[in-house]
Amino acid sequence: MLRDTGAHFGTGCGGASIVTALAKQPDAQTDLTERLSRPRTPIACMLAERSILLCVGEAFSNEDAITVPVRIGSQACELHLSPALVAWLQEPLGLEGALVDEEPPQRALLLELASLDLLRLLEKHLGQDIRFGECAEADTRVAVDLAIAAGGRSLALRLELTQPLAEAWADFLDRIQPPDLSGLAAELVIEAGSQDLSIDELASLRPGDIVMLASQRPTAGVDGKLVAPVRRQSDGFELGGGFAPRARRAMVGSLQGSQNADSGDAEHILHVVFEFARTTMTLAQLDELKPGQHLPLSCTDETGVDIVVENRRVGRGELVMIGMGMGVRIVHLLPAAPMWNSQTS
């Protein structure tokens, strides 16, 4: 910061490392029920010696359902079959009577026999044996509704799996059919620059103070993970190159973490970003951006920037040249006391 004749260029500017992988990891907080019921393309496989499509997320009715205890490895589960599906599975067995009329142990054994082709495939993927008719109480079960599409008919069933097996099933579905992320929203931010400041420095900022920028080149950032150069135009910005992983800053903490720190941690570092503009785009729209393309946001103020800390706008500033460097003069700060003030009281 520049105040009177003193100058401070921020701390924690060096030691950056490059993020080598930006692949979006599955959100651990994503609701398991949502993952299990997410629309999926039907899965082609064999069941009862016939080609079928396994459809995920079909609504199941418990009315007249046949319940079969199932053990997968050491975990107790249940299978609920519609009478129509039981009759369909019975066809290759050549039984004289109706399978639904058999005693539960015999019925389970015959259903396992009719389903061997699919069960062997599942056992290979799971690495565990599957046995019908062996039962025990499970602590918690998660319902998975499915349907068998065969011969123009939809035959419903429900699996009640333990939590670990339900998560393994969801992981399997996500692996063979990754969720479509193209419609997810991301923040495209045009940055004039940034600087890392301590909590004390942030709390002491006043209108007229100047914060020097670590870089003088404007960039476009996506959710803080990707960055690309931009060029200033009369009516906004154009993309100056492709997106690449953003360098991860060393020594820079979070505001939340600083609130949990001891009172002596006044030198805890926060990242301050100076933004020209921002907009929300889908990942599909971002994928379509090409170098030289005009970015879809308006910015007519050539020097005005928002002062942002952890995605929270805390004030307004203007770009100024200081010798060979670029800085931001604080124009005003929001009247609400910043959260970090409590750290210096």
| Token pair listed for 331 | 């124009």
The pLDDT of residue 7: 36
How many Cα atoms within 13 Å fall on the side-chain side of residue 139? 4
Taking residue 277's Cβ as centre, other Cβ atoms within 10 Å add up to 19
- Residues ≥6 apart with Cβ < 8 Å to 4: none
From the list 117, 145, 127, the residue with the least C-alpha distance to 44 is 117
Please state whether beta strands 304-309 and 269-282 pair in parallel, antiparallel, or not at all (unpaired): antiparallel
Convert the pLDDT of each residue in 242-283 to its tens digit. Answer: 888 877 654 344 444 444 444 444 468 889 999 999 999 888
From the list 148, 8, 137, 17, the residue with the least C-alpha distance to 77 is 137
169 neighbors 33 (Cβ within 8 angstroms):
no
- Residues ≥6 apart with Cβ < 8 Å to 88: 48, 148, 150, 153, 155
Residue 153 in this model has a pLDDT that exceeds 70: yes
**Can you give the pTM of this predicted structure?**
0.57
The C-alpha atoms of residue 299 and residue 208 are separated, in whole angstroms, by: 23
Sheet holding 142-150, edge to edge: 43-47, 50-56, 142-150, 153-161, 75-81, 66-72, 130-132
Taking residue 332's Cβ as centre, other Cβ atoms within 10 Å add up to 11
Domains of the chain: 2-24+183-343 (no CATH), 32-176 (3.40.1550)
Query: Taking residues 181-199, what's their average pLDDT?
Result: 88
The pLDDT of residue 6: 33
